[in-house]
Chain A
Amino acid sequence: MIFQIILLIMLAYVVGFIYFGLYRNITARIQGRYGPTVYQSFYDSIKLFSKNNTVSYGWMFYLGPVIMATGAVLTLVLVPVFSDSDFLRSVTSQGNLFVLLYLMVLGPLGNALAVGTGGNPFGVMGVVRGLTRLIGLELPFYIAVVGLIIAANSSDIVHIIDLQKTAGLNIINHPLLFIGAMISMVGFFGASPFDIPGAPQEVYSGPRTEFSGKFLALLMSQGSLFAFAKLVLIVDLFLGGADSLVMLVLKTFTIFVAIIFIGIVYGRYKVEQAVDFLMKLPTLIAVLGLARIVWFG
């Protein structure tokens, strides 16, 4: 079991970092640049892990990235990776969607604690922006997940995957829920137009402003783990899971590329604009999808 968890983390680390390398590369190509190599994120993380760290703000500051990494790893191990085999599904049966939804916000809270201790004004601004945005982001996503739970009559992800084998994919059966959840996902990935917390031209790096060296590397690593976990979760919930590594990469990459393209096309919202938008259109779409399930099955 331990072996499978370690294998899963390694897989997520590699796939997540290659995806972020592709993200930078594809962004560069669209902007008419050559762009960095696909492995650039590995280079960055190894370099950052080998840097000195002489900044000290007390232990809570350093616990923040650790709490974030904990949230990411826990989310990762609770999401079933493959639909047909029990491989890499060691502790999935211990949790359900409710636990996952709770764990997904553990990271931002840990971040807020750490950045508050650091006291950097840009960090605090970033955290306030991030938590405000979270109010808007969670709403459509949670409604979509509740809709799926009602439709499947279960909060077990494995059950939701199995149901899609007979009843058809959720993306076709419940397209409104999928649209609502995807708009949320764009924000969960920190892509434009919801890249408010770390907005480079406004609050420098936002919550990451004061982190350096190994802790920045830890933040990057947990970011890639978490990104992989979220992609697999979306694939599990709406695309019927993946039965092989090829299908997994294909499906997650499709979702990822969609998010990249949305992020490149749009500019950045202000905080209040983002919350305003998220609480209106995606929430309305998700509520319509929910109503369709409740009244028409």
Chain B
Amino acid sequence: MESGFYGSSTDGSLKCKFEESGLANTHDIMEKAVRWFRSRSIFVVAYGTGCGAIEMPPTFTSRYDAERMGVVGVATPRQADLIILSGYLAYKTLRRVIRTYEQMQKPRYIMTLGSCPINGGMYWDSYNTIKKLDDYLPIDVSVTGCMPRPEAVIDGFVLLQERIRNGEKAGWEKYDENFEFYKENQKRVLGGHIDPSYETDWYNLKSGGKA
């Protein structure tokens, strides 16, 4: 399934409207254009965990300058398209990462650096880190190496841009489709309560907070 024009692939209402008016081709062209613009403008929130955080400043500053490809760091997850997780994730960190990821607006992507988020790396037998991040959050691009150099990180950006441009199925769509699977895995390591609670009505806390 291709990623939708307005980021929601589940309802094809817009596509239906175009098809009714005999403009299905126009829809395809627009979607292609939007995908191209998306690939040329990636806002990154850099979540520095583990050793990989040190590779991000040179990637974004004068030496390697990711901005020439449209990859810019932003300050808040609300504005971001891509979150870079740069190393191992402790259970405690995973809780925050899930919260940050769910605050990002769709379409959203995850890039990981190093081997720790793939298979645990040197923390494979640690009591408080997760081994395989893909069980808890959908990874779009894994940049391997311990640690990957900025060239490799930029290679990861290029790969992500190609995937967005080709309309390949992205992690956030998998996350939406297999939401129960991911939540089950998250609950297994984090216990019952994960923020944000989907049962709490955060805007009416005074009146009991039940949605």
Show the binding face of A for B, using Cβ within 8 Å.
24, 28, 31-37, 40, 43-44, 46-47, 50-55, 122, 200, 204-205, 208-213, 216
Contacts and interface: CB of A to CB of B under 8 A. Distances in A.
B109 to A, nearest CB: 12
27 contacts: A28-B68, A31-B62, A33-B62, A33-B67, A36-B70, A36-B72, A37-B68, A40-B41, A40-B70, A44-B70, A46-B41, A47-B34, A50-B6, A50-B7, A50-B38, A51-B81, A51-B105, A52-B8, A53-B105, A55-B105, A200-B75, A205-B74, A209-B76, A211-B79, A212-B78, A213-B105, A216-B78
Interface in B67-121: 67-68, 70, 72, 74-76, 78-79, 81, 105-107
A51 B41 CA distance: 12
A51 B76 contact: no
A43 B62 contact: no
Interface residues of B, number: 26
Contact of A212 (B37, B70, B105): B105
A209 B45 CA distance: 13
Nearest to A50: B34
A123 to B, nearest CB: 10
Contacts of B182: none
B171 to A, nearest CB: 15
A204 B76 contact: yes
Given A210-B78, A212-B79, A52 B62 contact: no
Contacts of A28: 65, 67-68
Interface in B48-74: 61-62, 65, 67-68, 70, 72, 74
Given A50-B34, A50-B37, 9 more contacts: A35-B65, A36-B70, A50-B6, A51-B107, A122-B76, A204-B75, A205-B74, A210-B76, A213-B105
Contacts of B37: 43, 46-47, 50
B184 to A, nearest CB: 23
B106 A52 contact: yes
